[in-house]
Amino acid sequence: MTHLSIRACRAWLILLVATFALSPLLAAAQENNVSSAWVLWPKAGHTEQFEKAIREHAEWRKKAGEGFTWNIYQPTVGDDLGHYTIFSGGHAWADFDKNQKWSMDSKASAAFNRDVAPHVERVSHYFYENEDDISYWNVDRQFPMYAVTRMKLGPGQYGNFRAAVSKAREAATAQKYGGNWLLRSVTGGQDDMTLVIPHDSYASMSGPSPTFIEVMAKHMGGQDKAVKNMTAIQSAIEGGDTTIYVFRPDLSTPAD
């Protein structure tokens, strides 16, 4: 095994079994695989006021009859810890037309601009579509933590990336791998894909046993073949970064 192969394998293993993304973060069926994420940066010195305002606004939206549930996540590592991600998943594209009509009828934008916007410095918005056929997601619950990796694929590498990850998914399915991952394509911004891995605690970031490389090797008939496939995945990725997010249920849409 070459030094390059070891590094490539290790890099993808970090993404799959050690690190983690915003979520639902629940993978939806293919026909309900669209998510919306708003990223808000509070003004300097306004964190307490912002959290109070966003909590009250979430309660207002629920009472006003909004059909969407919004979950809020906050980063714990990285060089941009000052933002909050507001995420709603499991939708069809038509759901956003319905939600927009509700927003207009209820004057939700005016309420946000009155109550929350005075404490906000900057806003970004993204749509995500689950790549269910190359994801491996066998859970249906909220997790307290998610590792989210934003990835930029190299020119012309989308097909190569999907082909290699498909082999990884095949191995995970056949060997009943103990971890989970969700891949999503991105609309908006500079990234092409995000990888989301759920965690119950920091301790779980050590990864399940057997490790993913062991699962791959067993399925493919040798570690050299597993490393080759990991290298193909890594080679398709031009750049990216990973952040660990914690779920903030106290700021999210209140439960029934």
Predicted structure pTM score: 0.85
Residue 183 reports pLDDT greater than 70: yes
Quick: pLDDT tens for 41-58: 999 999 999 999 999 999
Residue 153 reports pLDDT greater than 70: yes
pLDDT, averaged across the chain: 89
Q: How confident is the model at residue 207 (pLDDT cuts 50, 70, 90)?
A: confident
Residue 194 reports pLDDT greater than 60: yes
Q: For the domain bounded by 3-247, which CATH number is listed?
A: 3.30.70.100
Instruction: Please give the share of the chain, as a percent, with pLDDT higher than 90.
Output: 82
Q: How confident is the model at residue 256 (pLDDT cuts 50, 70, 90)?
A: confident
Residue 37 reports pLDDT greater than 50: yes
DSSP labels, 36-93: EEEEEEEPTT-HHHHHHHHHHHHHHHHHTT-S---EEEEE-SSS--S-EEEEEEEE-H
Q: How far, in Å, are 40, 49, 159, 231 from residue 82 at the CA level? A: 9, 14, 35, 34
Q: How confident is the model at residue 22 (pLDDT cuts 50, 70, 90)?
A: very low
Q: How confident is the model at residue 112 (pLDDT cuts 50, 70, 90)?
A: very high
What ranges in the chain are assigned the alpha helix state H? Answer: 3-13, 47-63, 93-106, 108-115, 158-175, 212-220, 223-236
First-residue to last-residue Cα distance in the chain: 54
Domain ranges for the chain: 3-247
